[in-house]
């Protein structure tokens, strides 16, 4: 099965200084792949580079079998890759409906599909995004990305700052999105939830992959449990 997203010996960072070094990672059709690790490991930088927002220093990233080198973010997005960044990056002065429509694929502004995943947004379509709760903003950010009808969705810390009940709801929706045929690369500090939902996972530390395995195997790995789940072997 060929990869929809393939990162090859990637070195990337800022001002010519590598944050990620020699990274190899693949995401195959239909997968949820989790990218875990401590703060500063290079997880967000990896997603920003995959969507064209941070330049590649060396190595390569292929999206749908084509190198992204020299391609602008909007060109990569048109191929079918959508990115929900850390912090959500909404247009806070615009309404929920306006934010959703801005994410639409060319020629389509039908928001029904996004509302199908996030029905709670329907009652607040006329509310400005800046007035929403954190959970509502996260639903809006994900709904806006889905308006582009992506084949691959990059999610960066979707549970950040949310209440436990909303976190559970967001991860339930992530699973539903995946079941509808969207392949997902997920960066998430809540390792327990991420590993329960993912098919495979990578652990990134100081810019390098230190573990790669089935998510279920990592979930039961004593070292991973102690480092990322707050529990040791039982």
The per-residue pLDDT string of the chain (234 residues; one tens digit each, 9 = 90 and over) reads: 589 999 999 999 998 889 999 999 999 999 999 999 998 899 999 999 999 999 999 999 999 999 999 899 999 998 899 999 988 889 999 999 999 998 886 656 678 888 999 999 999 999 999 999 999 999 999 999 999 899 999 999 999 888 899 999 999 999 999 999 999 999 998 999 999 999 999 999 988 899 999 999 999 888 888 888 765 443
Token pair 């990134």: residue: 204
DSSP classification of residue 128: B
Neighbours of 26 (CB within 10 A): 18
**Token code pair at residue 159:** 């549970």
Write the CA distances from 76 to 48, 69, 160, integer angstroms: 12, 10, 26
């Amino acid at each position: 099965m060929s990869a929809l997203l393939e990162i090859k010996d990637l070195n990337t960072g800022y001002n010519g200084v590598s944050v990620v070094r020699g990274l190899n990672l693949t995401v195959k059709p239909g997968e949820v792949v989790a990218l875990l690790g401590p703060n500063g490991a290079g997880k967000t930088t990896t997603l920003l580079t995959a969507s064209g927002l941070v330049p590649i220093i060396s190595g390569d990233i292929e999206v749908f079998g084509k190198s992204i080198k020299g391609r602008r973010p909007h060109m990569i997005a048109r191929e079918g890759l959508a990115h929900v960044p850390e912090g959500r990056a909404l247009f806070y002065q615009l309404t929920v409906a306006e934010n959703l429509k801005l994410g639409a694929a060319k020629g389509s502004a039908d928001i029904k599909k996004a509302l199908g995943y996030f029905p709670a947004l329907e009652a607040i379509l006329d509310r400005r995004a800046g007035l929403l709760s954190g959970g509502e903003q996260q639903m809006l950010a994900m709904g806006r990305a889905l308006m582009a009808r992506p084949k691959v969705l990059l999610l960066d810390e979707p549970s950040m700052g949310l209440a436990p009940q909303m976190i559970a709801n967001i991860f339930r929706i992530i699973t539903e999105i995946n079941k509808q045929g969207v392949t997902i690369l997920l960066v998430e500090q809540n390792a327990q939830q991420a590993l329960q939902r993912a098919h495979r996972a990578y652990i990134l530390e100081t810019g390098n992959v230190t573990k790669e395995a089935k998510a279920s195997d990592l979930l039961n790995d004593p070292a991973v449990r102690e480092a990322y789940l707050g529990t040791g072997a039982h």
